[in-house]
Amino acid sequence: MTRLNPIITPRHQLRAEKARLNREAALNAFMCKKAEIDEMLARLQAFSDDHFNCDPDEVGWATVGTLEHHASLLKRITDSAFGEGEHAE
């Protein structure tokens, strides 16, 4: 792509181009972060499908406590994402 010459290009055109490039960079960063989250969600789903690597014969209160901790962290995320809990208006 050809860069605009700041000496001969009108300011409004330079600002518009800068804004376009900024939006493009933001979209790219958003898509990268979304892919990162999608990967984490897929890993968590697989972990859940495997019963969090727990043998039913070995489940104890420590295992429940660990799972409760994970659930509380996920609740903070869902509350924030959906405006619930402490994030409710």
Ordered by start, the domain boundaries in the chain are 8-49, 56-89
More confident residue, 10 or 27: 27
Instruction: Report residue 25 as tokens.
Output: 């960079």
| pLDDT per position as a tens digit, 78-88 | 999 999 998 88
pLDDT the model gives residue 88: 86
**8 Å CB contact between 69 and 78:** no
Positive or negative torsion for Cα 62, 64, 70, 73? negative
The pLDDT of residue 45: 97
∠ at Cα 14 (17, 1), nearest 5°? 50
Q: Which residues contact 80 (CB under 8 A, 6 or more apart)?
A: 87
12-61 pLDDT, tens per residue? 888 888 899 999 999 999 999 999 999 999 999 999 999 999 998 999 99
